[in-house]
Amino acid sequence: LIVETTNGKIKGSKMKMSDIDKEFYAFQSIPYAEPPIGKLRFQNPQSKSNWTGVLDATSPPKACYQPIIYFTFSEMSEDCLFLNVLTPTLTPSTLLPVIFWIYGGFFIYGDGKIEDYDPEFLVDEDVIMITINYRLGIFGYLSTGDHTLSGNYGIKDQIMALKWVQENIVKFGGDPRRITIMGQSAGAANVALLLQSPMAQGLFSAAIMDSGNSLNLWSRNEDPDKFAKSIANFFKIAYNTSHQLKTKLQEINSIQLVLGTTFVYLENAALSNPVNGLPFAPTVEPGVIDKMNYENLKSGKFNKVPVLTGFNSNEGIAFVDVFDYFPAYLMLYDISPSRFVPTDLNINKTLLHKVGKMIKQFYFGSKSVAASKEKFTEFVTDHEFVIPAIEFVRLVSNYTDTYFYEFSYEGQIPVENREVPGVDHGEELYYIFKIPNSRPASDDDLITRKRLVRLWTNFAKYHNPTPDADPLLQNITWKSVEPTRINYLNINKTLHLHKNPHEKSDKFWKNIYDTYG
């Protein structure tokens, strides 16, 4: 199984789909850039030099360095810029559409290994899957806000990988004119930024964003220099210029840098106000990410490709569960309701308290925040996911076909005993991918899986999730969003078309932004 790429020959392997009696072809650990180590640490990705002989592409790559949550240090490496190609056939009669997967993980963890996001259900629908690794945390997003330490290395890795796909995918049976970029959570925010990046223009033809976009406050770092200083303080580095800081950080052991990332992350995100931005995240960089994110979407200054996006019915569950360990944290919102106010509202200190009280009143009435975990979950779901998603589709639907969904099917594959009603952040991935340690599927779970996979792959093939009548999809026609009418598909045990999701919350927040924005 040898394929010749622009950099040299690679050897792949046949793999069996475990749930379906079919084989597919896998090419793993294909390098798409030079290793970002030594002097290439904190640099834009460099084109991969050619190799001689045949490169073995039969085993998975190591993950990029990240805090120890899912991987031990031996399972990670700074030399991690690899991608994987999975295809149902190398010789299709017509070239196949491609889905390019960008994982989430708060910009600090995650990986693209087949074992973690096994795309066999998608590949079975005759699409080619690309999964990638990109730099994370300090390695991917450290910035001093100037060209010396510009940040956004993780996004520039994704762009480099997309260029590789454009040049090579035809060798694997893929159609370079039909590449859909798809991401979830921070991966979805990356997709939204790629939509707006001049560097990514022409590299893809459609976009899928699950539970995230560039209007989410957590999707960007508004004060990168502050976090660069936190890193310098952690390592006791005195510096006068960005160049001095960069040079000293290039000399530090990569595992030490991971520990520094973890400390700064906990200090600045978890313990302060995580809803208003993350320490290691995309930041403004001319030519890569423009400052005027909202204005870009409003004025149509983005790559106008068809979009499919949405949210889960109760995204806040996992985030609020954390507060079981820090019950005093929620009391801070009772003491100071101004903590509810989003940082992108342009208001003075006098109004801050007033607006905070309005938000507290809307969600909690006269109840204490600390005693109303369910209501706080609703606030997080709205503020962090639903409202930015509605605003995003309201803006982009002026310029391109936009399909919007709410995933509200409470299945048993991801969750055994559901204590809180609603679908949590990331649950839809258990239906789209074959995720390790999934629970046994019920009949309803299996139908929901088939439906999600069919809708997503239809969109990748035809830029329309319901191109024809299909009994599996109840013969529905999923209507695209109109700017004045937010059409959406509610995906539950059955599929239902509705308009204007979460209307009460949407009107409340729209009024807040119109009045104080």
Neighbours of 57 (CB within 10 A): 25
Looking at the chain, the number of H-run helices and the number of E-run strands are: 16, 16
Range 321-329, long-range pairs (CB < 8 A, 24+ positions): 322/270, 323/373, 323/376, 327/370
Length of the chain equals: 517
Are 98 and 274 in contact by the 8 Å Cβ rule? The answer is: no
Three-state SS letters, 64-125: ECCCCCCCCHHHEECCCCEEEEEECCCCCCCCEEEEEEECCCCCCCCCCCCCCCECHHHHCC
Q: Which of left, alpha, beta for 81 (phi over 0: left; psi -120 to 50: alpha)?
A: beta
HSE of 61, CA atoms in CB hemisphere, 13 A: 29
d(CA 103, CA 466): 25
First-to-last alpha carbon distance for the chain, in angstroms, is 57
Kindly provide the b/e burial profile for residues 472-510, where b requires at least 16 CB atoms within 10 angstroms of the residue's own CB: ebeeeebebbeeeebbbbbbbeebeeeeebbeebbebbe
Are 85 and 130 a contacting pair, CB within 8 Å? yes
Cα separations (Å) of 425 from 93, 101, 109, 184, 186? 39, 17, 16, 9, 12
CA–CA distance, 67 with 110 (Å, rounded to integer): 10
**Could you tell me the CA-to-CA distances from 355 to 89, 205, 276, 344, 447 in Å, in that order?**
57, 41, 16, 13, 44
DSSP code of residue 53: S
The rounded distance, in Å, linking the Cα atoms of 493 and 490 is 10
Alpha carbon distance 441, 24 (integer Å): 23
* Nearest to 100, CA basis, from 218, 206, 225, 236: 206
Residue reference for tokens 């200190």: 349
The residues annotated as belonging to the active site are 185
Could you tell me how far CA 232 lies from the centroid of its own chain? Answer: 28
User: Which of 464, 463, 461, 499 lies closest to 483, judged by CA?
Assistant: 499
